[in-house]
Each structure stands twice: as C-alpha cells, then as structure tokens.
Structure 1
C-alpha cells in the first residue's frame, strides 16, 4: 500500500511493528464513510451518486491498470470522503420516495453536495497483487458485495470489484442493497442468479440511464460485465461533463452575440 499514489486512495504515511503487532498510520480523511452518509440522507441523488462513483472508478482504474491490484472489499464503509460546506438549495423535495429524506443542498459539479467532497477508497486488508493471466481463488470480502464467482468458489479476477461497484451504486441511489435478504443462503442464491429488481416507489424517479449502468455492472458473467473503462464511458457517468461543455458553448455564443 505504501507505493499507492492516487488522489482517490487513502495514503499510507508510516508503518512499524512490535514483537506482536503491526502499526500503520494512514492519511486522515475527516468526513467519515459513505455508508453513514446513506443512513443520514436516506439515499443519494443521481448527481451525488455520480460524484462518488466517478471518483471510485478512477481509483479502481488506477489499481487495476497501473498497479495490478484487486481491492476485493469495495463497499460504502470503505469509501471515505473529505467534507465540504453545505450550500442550501431552493425548492428541495424528496420526490415521494421518503418523507425522511434529508436535503443534500446545491450540487456543484467537481465539488460535490450533501457535505461530501473528495472521495478516498480505503481498507486494503483483502487486496491482492495480481498477474492478469492468473486468477485468484481465495473467497474473501464482505458477503453483501461478493460477486457470483466468489460466492460459487470459482476462480476470479478484477471483475469482482466491478460487481461490488454496481452494488454500491444501487445502494446509494435507493438507500438499500440490491440483494437485501436476512438469510445468507437466500442472498447467495439471488446473487448467483443476478436476481434483483428496481423496486417501486424507490426507483420510480431514477433515470433509465442510471438503471442501465447498474444493470451493466451487475451482470453475473464476469466476461460480459462492464469493465472500468466501459463504466467510465457510460453516458450517465458523463452528464456533468456534457452540461459543463454546453454551458461553455452558451457562454461563447453570448460573447459572440454581445449578450
């Protein structure tokens, strides 16, 4: 972990050991974790969800493509953030999904909302350095976010992080997990089959594009599942960039017309 150097990954500052224990000193990320923020806000808007997922994909792209590392325990509890000031938004509504929805405030592209700013992926206790022509075999991670190939004790590779990313995105958008079962056996059966749904009313106002990305990340066959590059190129992931480009073009048009 000492060699990891990315803006969206928690930095290891120092490590030492005694006769019986290892000690590590990590970068302080004072905002806390995304799981607690889902509990606080009930669910995230598409803008805030995109803000988080975009940064997580940048971290995973770095881990997979530059470092040859699988995280193997991606979940909201292991996604930390730096806090930003809250900017109130006029005309807030919860869109009928929950009377308990807390206001996120004004979303600022590239900055965030709801007090959530820069994202940092943390906890590399289950991570593994890989050579991509080989496969991992050890079942590990958090059960709710394990890919079907891990659940079935099959060999696996970096695609398991993509599955976990899909579970994280689903959870942020609606406030609960796609495979939300008390029985671990029942949950495992549903994961293996990829059997989940976009339940009403929680998903009624979520865009088709967001649902399409979730679907593409939660494909049971790892060979058909989205890659990180495909996720980053998905239209839903690039809405902020298109809006920014349109605003720039409008500003240029105003200058030319003298408005």
Structure 2
C-alpha cells in the first residue's frame, strides 16, 4: 500500500541584461526577510517589468493535464521557436487557497534554484485569470507512480519489498543533494513527497528532479516557521506544533526512504487527523514480513531522520555521509569496476 487565447497576457520580463540565453525571462529583487509572518508578501520584495504578450504566441500548450501542483494544473508545452518541450503550471489567481505573495514567492525561489536535481524555471506568463510558470519537462513520471507499480508487481509475485536498497539509496542520495543545496541557500521546501519527485526520463536509472515550490519559502534560523503546511503522511511533528525550521524537510526524506523500502508509510492513519496523531507520538515499526531482508544500515538511516527532536535529527550533509548512503556508493563503485575488469578479461 502506498498509500483564452483571446486574452492579452502580461509576460514577466527581466529588468536586467537578457543576453544570457539560459536565463529565464523573469527578473527578481529579493530583500531580507524581516517579517515574522511567513505569508506576509512584504517579507520578500519583487519588482517586475511587464509587457503585453500571449503565452500561445510563444508556446503550443497541450490540453491534456499531466498532473496537479499545490495550486494549479500542469500541462506539456512546446516552445514554438526552439521546439523545446517544457511543462507549464497554470495557477488560477482567484483561487482562495493562493495567499498574497505566494505566486511571486514561488517564482522567486525557482529563480534561485540552480541544481541538477531541482526543476528549472524557463518562463513566466500572466493573463487575466492565470499565472503560467514554465519549467523543464520530466517525462519519466512521478516517484509515487513507480512506488505503486513496484508494490503491485512485488505483491503479485509474492515479494515483500518495494525498491531494492541500491535503488532506494540512489534516489534518496539525489534528494539529499538537492535538499542540502536548498538549505545552503536558506530555502526550505516544506512539501517533499513522492508526488513532487519526478524521473527525468523513462530510463531504468533515470535521474530525479524535485518540483513544486508552491509551499517553499526562504528561511533563516532566527525566527521559527509557524504555519502548518505540507502533506499529512510526510509532515514533521514540529510542523504540527507550529514551531519548526528547515529540518522538517529531513523528516520528509526519512518518510520517503521508509516507503521506498516497504511500499507504505510509517505513520498511516485512517484519516488525516489520525495520521497527525500518530506522527505526534512518533512511534513507528519495521514489520518483519516486509523488513526481514532490509539491512540494519537502512533501518538506522531512517531512525536517525524520523527523530522527534529536530535538533537531534540528521542534517542533509550528515545523511549523505551515513553508511547506508556513503558505503553503498563505494560498494556500487567496486561492483562497477569488477564488471569492467571481467569484460576486459573475456575474449
């Protein structure tokens, strides 16, 4: 169990030099976060220069919905000039769930993110009803769907595991590298979950990318965050207590690691309220049937992330140096070298 074209648009354009072809056509100016209210739009100052344009003039947007983000729908689009395939998230501006400044904050944070395992901003458009955020396209599907597929397949074949430890550790390592980068930039994601992790391609060993910064924000350690945001299965206990910092992302990584190895979440209530109560208790188990073949290192890795006290929880850097991630990388390197030697020895 795992667990219209006829509307004139305002295209966000940079106020600075646009000579770099790799720079999205969006400009930003960020001021220090001085407000204790994390949803106060004054906490992040953004200046835009607007010119009228049509998203349809630049992109051919598919009508098929690929997925849903925190605040909008995601579709495929193609740049009419270059042929580049992208994804576009369309956010309805009058959606009551979209708080003041949230869209601008998401755009600004995406501009900051320059990491191979994080989705990259390509373009931004605004019309009378929507803001359209264009990013690079991942064609391999969600990690969530892969979990469901593997769990169903293993169950049908009387297996008990979801991903192998090598597969799970490889995915978690990529997530941790991205989280380490985000945290070094004083950015916290706050909604890490398999639905927000995509495979770049359909290849067996495809890299992953973290998407959807709709709940992300800039944060320093001086003032704790206090808004309860996130997805029930993956939310950290201190978030539910309304006093938390960037360590909440590491709790979510621990939950993802647990699910990758067995196919179901460690805190699994009948509804959101019960799930929250289980998280606040912090008790979870490794049932023998599903976990009998899982290494002690993997269990220790999870236990060091699903720690109630965020001060005692591993950081992203510490997690990357845990034996389950670090030693496995060495072992995989040895296996790869051994295979290469064997190939050379064969006639």
Say whether the fold is shared (TM-score over 0.5): yes
The match for 1:60 is 179
The match for 1:141 is 230
Q: 2:259 aligns with which of 171, 186, 206?
A: 171
Asked if residue 214 in structure 1 is aligned to residue 302 in structure 2, the reply is yes
Contact 2:269 2:278 in 1 (8 A): no
SS across alignment from 1:188: helix
**1:246: Cα distance to partner?**
4.2
Contact 1:80 1:122 in 2 (8 A): yes
| 1:189-213: CA deviation from partner (whole Å, max 9, x where unpaired) | 2111211100120011100100000
SS across alignment from 2:175: helix
| 1:185-234: CA deviation from partner (whole Å, max 9, x where unpaired) | 32222111211100120011100100000000000111111111110000
| 1:204–1:124 Cα change, 3 Å | same
| 1:189–1:250 Cα change, 3 Å | same
Structure 1 runs (4+) deviating above 6 angstroms are 248-251
SS across alignment from 1:167: helix
The match for 1:39 is 148
Contact 2:121 2:136 in 1 (8 A): yes
What are the within-5 Å matches in structure 2 for residues 72-221 of structure 1?
Answer: 72-85=190-203, 115-153=204-242, 155-221=243-309
SS across alignment from 1:180: coil
Contact 1:31 1:116 in 2 (8 A): no
CA RMSD of superposed structures (Å):
2.1
SS across alignment from 1:226: coil
Tell me the TM-score normalised to structure 1 length: 0.81
Cα distance between partner residues in 1 of 2:216 and 2:182 = 10
Greater relative contact order (Cα 8 A, min sep 6): structure 1 or 2? 1
SS across alignment from 2:290: coil
Unaligned runs of at least 5 residues, structure 2: 1-109, 152-161, 343-347
Cα distance between partner residues in 2 of 1:174 and 1:247 = 25
Cα distance between partner residues in 1 of 2:233 and 2:332 = 36
| 1:145–1:249 Cα change, 3 Å | closer
Cα distance between partner residues in 2 of 1:245 and 1:39 = 29
**1:247: Cα distance to partner?**
5.7
Return the structure number with greater strand share. 2
| 1:133–1:179 Cα change, 3 Å | same
| 1:39-74: CA deviation from partner (whole Å, max 9, x where unpaired) | 011111101101100000000000001x21000000
